[in-house]
């Protein structure tokens, strides 16, 4: 799969020279923390390299941001009155050209989602931080801000030029979106490392409980709940590992082996049963006979199908029908998840597999279907969605058969 092509520095420099665009980096940095000692330490680290401003609250920071030149805001997350993410969310509305960096000692998934969806945070750095790390991240943020401002300025200037410049305009707009998506993926990849560390500690405790239950006369249904729960936690950990690996290298590592498509359906149904919505929907599966084997990464395919099943469960009401099926289609195998819910809005159908595009608004990061697409395309397959004539959505995953 090809990564989005970014404009080379030479191309931007050439346009800047031709259009007479002035430098867009101010080297202004605003530090926000309710503890003065932290402000003093950060100021000492930064003042030899940047014009540093300080504020002891979110409200004071917003007042400063309205009147001083800024590239980057570095804020503590937990502050009285206004949190760091809340500050950057409001700052994004007032100064969308400024990058935000959040410092925190906590792994908070809700703050993570808010940071990505609402505040568009450039980096989310866990304490204790190192001076070299802070300087490096602020430098990267400042460079991105300068490039984004330059691109926006060029777009404005090019918009008034002749049709001969239309291609440059299109590429500049793509540049801006690609930079933002790659930086946000990088932020999530860094955050997933902290989440995986905490999740592994939970897994250790759950494994101990599972082992104790196996040695006692615990009821069968309770053991089944524990087994399914552990399977779900393991699947979540694999998803985070996949996301972190892709954000770091831009590729997905596949563990290829012969896979029976029927087992993918069976394991997907078993994992989907953990979802409370599963019990209030009419869920069925259909497996055709004589399916050819796949040469695939079994766990990653299950990750894709579980994501599609959970989306279907959450998009429908109680009593709705959700069906998963698999069948041979020539030299390919087709997996299908369909439901009788409201379907996918037409304006989302063409973009739903892009990063940070979600049908749930601010309730999700918009990465589940994007990761599903990356996994399917890594198997030389394709994934698509369409609305059924009788109502509801139909997601199709097509993978070439082995050989």
- Shared domain check, 280 and 157: no
**Span of 217-231, 271-285, 286-300 with lowest mean pLDDT:** 217-231
Residues 383-400 have a mean pLDDT of 95
- Shared domain check, 389 and 357: yes
Give tens-digit pLDDT for 228-249: 677 667 766 776 777 667 666 6
- Shared domain check, 277 and 312: yes
Whole-number CA gyration radius for the chain = 24
- Shared domain check, 208 and 175: no
Q: What percent of the chain has pLDDT over 90?
A: 43
Residues 143-158 have a mean pLDDT of 82
- Shared domain check, 218 and 177: no
Is the whole model's pTM more than 0.85, yes or no? no
How many Cβ atoms sit within 10 Å of the Cβ of residue 296? 25
- Shared domain check, 261 and 163: no
Q: How many domains does the chain have?
A: 3
Residues 69-98 have a mean pLDDT of 92
Quote the CA–CA distance of 300 and 292 in Å, as a whole number: 19
Residue 244 · residue 193 · CB < 8 Å: yes
Q: Considering the domain boundaries, does residue 300 fall inside one?
A: yes
- Shared domain check, 223 and 186: no
Q: Considering the domain boundaries, does residue 219 fall inside one?
A: yes
Q: Does the pLDDT at position 5 exceed 60?
A: no
Q: What percent of the chain has pLDDT over 70?
A: 75
Q: Considering the domain boundaries, does residue 249 fall inside one?
A: no
Q: Considering the domain boundaries, does residue 228 fall inside one?
A: yes
Of the residues 181, 212, 243, which one is the last residue of a structural domain? 243
Q: Which tops the pLDDT comparison, 99 or 120?
A: 99
- Shared domain check, 285 and 207: no
Q: Which tops the pLDDT comparison, 220 or 307?
A: 307
Residues 277-294 have a mean pLDDT of 94
Q: Does the pLDDT at position 305 exceed 80?
A: yes
Q: Which tops the pLDDT comparison, 154 or 372?
A: 372
Q: Considering the domain boundaries, does residue 4 fall inside one?
A: no
- Shared domain check, 229 and 169: no
Q: What is the CATH number of the domain that holds 311?
A: 3.30.565.10
Q: Which pLDDT score is estimated for 90?
A: 93
Q: Considering the domain boundaries, does residue 217 fall inside one?
A: yes
Q: Does the pLDDT at position 147 exceed 60?
A: yes
- Shared domain check, 272 and 167: no
Q: Considering the domain boundaries, does residue 383 fall inside one?
A: yes
Q: Which tops the pLDDT comparison, 378 or 165?
A: 378
- Shared domain check, 133 and 225: no
Q: Which pLDDT score is estimated for 4?
A: 38
List the beta bridge partners of residue 326: 287, 335
Which range of residues forms the domain containing residue 274?
257-400
Q: What is the CATH number of the domain that holds 74?
A: 3.40.50.2300
Q: Considering the domain boundaries, does residue 248 fall inside one?
A: no
- Shared domain check, 33 and 171: yes
Q: Which pLDDT score is estimated for 9?
A: 61
Q: How high does pLDDT run on average in the chain?
A: 82
């Amino acid at each position: 799969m090809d990564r989005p092509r970014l404009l080379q520095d030479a191309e931007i420099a050439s346009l800047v020279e031709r259009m007479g665009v002035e430098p867009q980096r101010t080297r202004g940095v605003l530090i926000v923390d309710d503890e003065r000692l932290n402000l003093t330490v950060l100021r000492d680290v930064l003042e030899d390299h940047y014009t540093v401003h300080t504020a002891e609250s979110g409200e004071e920071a917003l007042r400063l941001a309205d009147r001083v030149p800024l590239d980057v805001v570095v804020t503590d997350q937990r502050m009285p009155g206004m949190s760091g993410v809340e500050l950057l969310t409001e700052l994004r509305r007032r100064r969308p050209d400024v990058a935000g960096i959040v410092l925190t000692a906590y792994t908070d998934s809700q703050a993570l989602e808010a940071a990505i969806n609402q505040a568009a945070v450039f980096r989310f750095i866990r304490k204790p931080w190192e001076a070299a790390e802070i300087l490096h991240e602020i430098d990267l943020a400042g460079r991105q801000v300068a490039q984004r401002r330059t691109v926006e300025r060029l777009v404005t200037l090019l918009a008034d030029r002749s049709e001969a410049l239309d291609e440059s305009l299109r590429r500049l707009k793509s540049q801006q979106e690609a930079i933002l998506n790659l930086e946000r993926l990088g932020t999530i990849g860094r955050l997933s490392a902290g989440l995986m560390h905490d999740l592994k500690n939970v897994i250790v405790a759950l494994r101990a409980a599972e082992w104790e239950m196996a040695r006692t006369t615990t009821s069968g249904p309770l053991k089944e709940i524990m087994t399914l729960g552990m399977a779900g936690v393991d699947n979540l950990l694999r998803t985070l590992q996949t996301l972190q690996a892709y954000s770091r290298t831009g590729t997905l590592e596949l563990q290829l082996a012969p896979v029976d498509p029927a087992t993918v359906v069976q394991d997907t149904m078993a994992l989907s049963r953990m979802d409370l919505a599963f019990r209030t929907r009419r869920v069925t599966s259909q497996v055709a006979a004589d399916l050819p084997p796949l040469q695939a990464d079994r766990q990653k395919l299950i990750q894709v199908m579980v994501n599609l099943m959970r989306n279907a469960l959450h998009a429908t009401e109680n009593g709705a029908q959700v069906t998963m099926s698999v069948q041979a289609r020539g030299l390919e195998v087709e997996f299908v998840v369909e439901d009788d819910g409201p379907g996918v809005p037409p304006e989302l159908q063409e973009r739903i597999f892009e990063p940070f595009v979600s049908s749930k608004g601010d309730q999700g990061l918009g990465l589940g279907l994007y990761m599903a697409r990356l996994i399917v395309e890594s198997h030389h397959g394709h994934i698509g969605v369409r609305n059924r004539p009788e109502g509801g959505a139909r997601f199709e995953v097509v993978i070439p058969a082995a050989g």
